[in-house]
Structure 1
Amino acid sequence: MADYSCILISGLLLFLLLQSSQSESNVKNSNNNNYKNNNVVKTEVFLSPKFVLAPGLVSNKYYYNIDFPRGHIAIKSFNAEIVDENGNPIPLHETYLHHWVLQRYYHQINGSDFILVKNSGLCGTGLTQYFGLGAETRKTETHIPDPYGIEAGGNIPAAGYEEGWFLNVHAIDTRGAHDRLACTECGCDLYNVTVDEYGVTVPREYKGGVRCCHDGTRCPVREGIFFSGVAERSLYLRYTVKYVEWNPLIVPVKIYILDVSDVWTTVDGSRGSAETHNCVVEYDIEPCPNSVANDGCVHTKTLSASLPSGGDVIYGVGHQHAGATGIALYGEGGRLICWSNPIYGTGEEAGNEAGYVVGMSTCYPTPGSLKISSGEKLTLVSNYSNAQSHTGVMGFFYLLIADSSPKSNPLRLYAPSDEVWKNAKLSDFVWPIVVLGVVVVAAVVVFVVLKGRSGRGEDYEAML
């Protein structure tokens, strides 16, 4: 009799398997359809407030509460470029885009309270932005693959607050400059600056960087440049935002920014040890001894750090300046996570300016294929050619990381999930019941036949 009961058990298992498969399939198809319907990518193009530049002049302004898509959304990409009043792109050899930074915050509607919303990176006070690039903007991919997105517009901290965004645009007009590269590297002696924008004296060892080319400063240009038809002009940062309306099927990502010039220490206290990070942001490069142009001299700077939480790597890209030869992020054991190379222009047109970094290569691992563990030791390596000196260079690395998907539960094979039962319809059960009925009838017939034969003393092999 035990052998025959196996038939009934197998029929029941078949029913559960068929039902689970059918219902899961229905839910999956429904989820896919819902995702497609709710995942229509919208594109909005905005202009920053106007800024006016003349040959040699620097603009480094902050624009608060800029135009930006509202509501609970998932940001899919953010790109930008400098244009004139007619919307024409401006090449880097005329106006150098040192950097732009997009920052999220909350502000009190009828008050002055201001809450900065930082990314998940390690820097304590600097590099808190959501997006930020520079001269490489036009040819650097920033899109985030499905089903991932950067969540915005949700989780307002309290009643009476609303979300806002500010934009920092740092641009240098190099028309007529004696040395365009020196202007873009913001040498303190070249700009004749000894005090930064906050009125703080610039240390003697600080040779160049953003502290010496702040808003309103000027790089030397050729005499008579203003009398040769080159005049001041109004410019804008044109930025394009792609996004989708938020829905539960979108997987949020965390933004991490690593700075190769980060100086971090471990502080022991009564509540245990903690890491403090001082992201210097910039650093200088001395020329290699007896160097000549293109002799292969390479300056390497490294950082070792770990992330507070891990997950799946969705996107990676570096940020470097002219003279760079690439930046790479490694995990424990020397495994390569991402290598981001600079793309140099070869022409005159906007987006292909010779001698400038016009793009950085990006990394898009297959989702789930590349993970960073919580606390895993990471090594960031930034390389520059030091055939000549450079000031104020940078070595950042942007990472988008999603929480790893939970491991599948083998019991789901036999026990449909709550989501399956919730989304199942009566029609989903009709055909499995019919199949079960057929199996049961067949089992009964086999049982009767075998029972009759067994009475005649014949031997039969068990079916299970």
Structure 2
Amino acid sequence: MGHLYGGRSLCVAAVLVVILVLTLSIPCSNSLRITKTNSMVYRSPKFELEPGSVVDKIYFNIDFPRGHIAVKNFNAEVVDEAGNPVPLHETYLHHWVVFRYYQRKGVQIVEHDGLKQRNQSTFIGARNHGVCQENQLGQYFGLGSETRKTSTFVPDPYGIEVGNPAEIPDGFEERWLLNVHAIDTRGAEDRLGCTECRCDLYNVTKNQRGQPLKPDYVGGLHCCYDQTHCRVRNGFQGVKRSLYLRYTVEWVEWTDSILPVKIYIFDITDTWNGLNSAEHGCQVEHDVAKSCKGIRGTSQSCIETRRKGIRAPTGGYVVYGVAHQHTGGAGSTLYGEDGRVICSSIPIYGTGKEAGNETGYIVGMSSCYPKPGSVKMVDGETLVHESSYSSSQPHTGVMGLFYMLVADQLPSPKLYMDTSL
């Protein structure tokens, strides 16, 4: 009898071990590990800057992971030839953006001339799903001074799908281009004015195409284009140096268990009037006028808040969200039509001198990662985009963008076997 019960105990123990192993090897669907994550660090082509100078270049066919993949993370920073991070108070990273495009096989697009050759026979842009007009804000990735401390990771089981052979036109190859806009502010007479591209500091009266600027255009992208110079202090000496944008891409190989996300970029300067959803004239930048004296003891608030209604082209579940603002930014929020908060993103200001913590600069923006299924946008819903800036002093050429990742579906409740174990 004792032998019988002993054998039964062994059987029960064996069954419990099997159940435990199966339980450990079947993860919860909300934290599903898709496959092994790959990571690669790349460098842009070299660009040279001296005190006061500006680089605003487009680099075609940059290094990027190939194949049918899901991008999980993309971030970047400016470094010197030795690979040391360069602080913002020396080289201000106005923005970097990465675009996806298709290039006809056998055709070489030359730097700077590529956009002039932009036609369906050699070059096809692959935009995000945002609402802005064709030539504005079509990037897949992009940040500015906040790049070092802004989380951009796409949570499992979601991913940004690229390299799908079914989407690449016959006779074309998928490629990527990079735009880097950086300003050397060493010895600047007015460092903030240089980073905000004030036209008087650049002695600019015409835009990059040679067209006269409007009389009321005080500052912005039209005054700090490639090879312009911002005014530096008399007698200041600084060496010309070679810099790079170092960018890191994390990705996984595409599988059916990955849920694709759509990229939406909303702009606070959108001219959409609520009547025609096809007319989204994104102006990209705007000015902030000084609206209060900021006298101690007064109750007057030195904040300018802009609000804009924007119709969501399609609905879906919000997976990620983050705003982009310049110095003076006080935060941005995206609301649903019923007033619910979809995502609120707050700037992180530096408090030191080292790269990633520079005093007075936005060194990061808080990101939103809603619990799966908790935040949903409805098809055709009119969202309210709100962007706030300090108005204790004027600002020129600032931005108010909101970057969203939206999925059509939620993870299936079905349990998946994790074959990576």
Asked whether 1:263 is paired with 2:271, we answer yes
Superposition misfits of 4+ residues, deviation over 2 angstroms:
28-32, 155-159, 289-296, 404-408
Specify the alignment match of 1:452 in structure 2. Answer: none
Specify the alignment match of 1:250 in structure 2. Answer: 258
| Post-superposition CA distance 1:177-232 (Å, at most 9, x none) | 01100000001111111111122221112111111000000001012212xxx211
Q: Aligned to 2:136, which of 89, 106, 126?
A: 126
Name the SS of the counterpart of 2:227 in structure 1. Answer: coil
Asked whether 1:217 is paired with 2:228, we answer yes
| Post-superposition CA distance 1:340-363 (Å, at most 9, x none) | 000000000000000000000010
Say whether the 8 Å CA contact 1:265–1:275 is kept in structure 2.
no
Specify the alignment match of 1:113 in structure 2. Answer: 122
Question: Which amino acid letter does the alignment assign opposite residue 245 of structure 2?
Answer: L
Provide the rounded CA distance (Å) in 2 between the counterparts of 1:173 and 1:61: 14
Cα distance change on mapping 1:343 and 1:266 into 2, 3 Å:
closer
Name the SS of the counterpart of 2:281 in structure 1. Answer: strand
Say whether the 8 Å CA contact 1:291–1:388 is kept in structure 2.
no
Q: Aligned to 2:43, which of 36, 43, 47?
A: 47
Specify the alignment match of 2:282 in structure 1. Answer: 279
Provide the rounded CA distance (Å) in 1 between the counterparts of 2:137 and 2:27: 41
Provide the rounded CA distance (Å) in 2 between the counterparts of 1:123 and 1:400: 16
Provide the rounded CA distance (Å) in 2 between the counterparts of 1:80 and 1:141: 11
Name the SS of the counterpart of 1:189 in structure 2. Answer: helix
Asked whether 1:171 is paired with 2:182, we answer yes
Question: Which amino acid letter does the alignment assign opposite residue 238 of structure 1?
Answer: R
Provide the rounded CA distance (Å) in 1 between the counterparts of 2:65 and 2:277: 38
Question: Which amino acid letter does the alignment assign opposite residue 260 of structure 1?
Answer: I
Asked whether 1:74 is paired with 2:70, we answer yes
Provide the rounded CA distance (Å) in 2 between the counterparts of 1:205 and 1:123: 24
Asked whether 1:324 is paired with 2:329, we answer yes
TM-score normalised by the chain length of structure 2: 0.85
The size of the alignment, in residue pairs, is: 377
| Structure 2 counterparts to residues 35-434 of structure 1, below 5 A | 36=33, 39-111=35-107, 113-124=122-133, 125-154=135-164, 155-226=166-237, 230-265=238-273, 274-292=277-295, 296-405=301-410
Name the SS of the counterpart of 2:192 in structure 1. Answer: helix
Provide the rounded CA distance (Å) in 2 between the counterparts of 1:114 and 1:158: 11
| Post-superposition CA distance 1:325-353 (Å, at most 9, x none) | 10001002211111100000000000000
- Higher Cα Rg: structure 1 or 2? 1
TM-fit CA distance, 1:368: 1.2
| Post-superposition CA distance 1:362-400 (Å, at most 9, x none) | 100011111111111210110001000000000000000
TM-fit CA distance, 1:266: 5.6
TM-score normalised by the chain length of structure 1: 0.77
Provide the rounded CA distance (Å) in 1 between the counterparts of 2:303 and 2:145: 22
TM-fit CA distance, 1:156: 3.9
RMSD, aligned CA: 2.4
- Return the structure number with greater helix share: 1
Provide the rounded CA distance (Å) in 1 between the counterparts of 2:76 and 2:251: 15
Say whether the 8 Å CA contact 1:331–1:378 is kept in structure 2.
yes
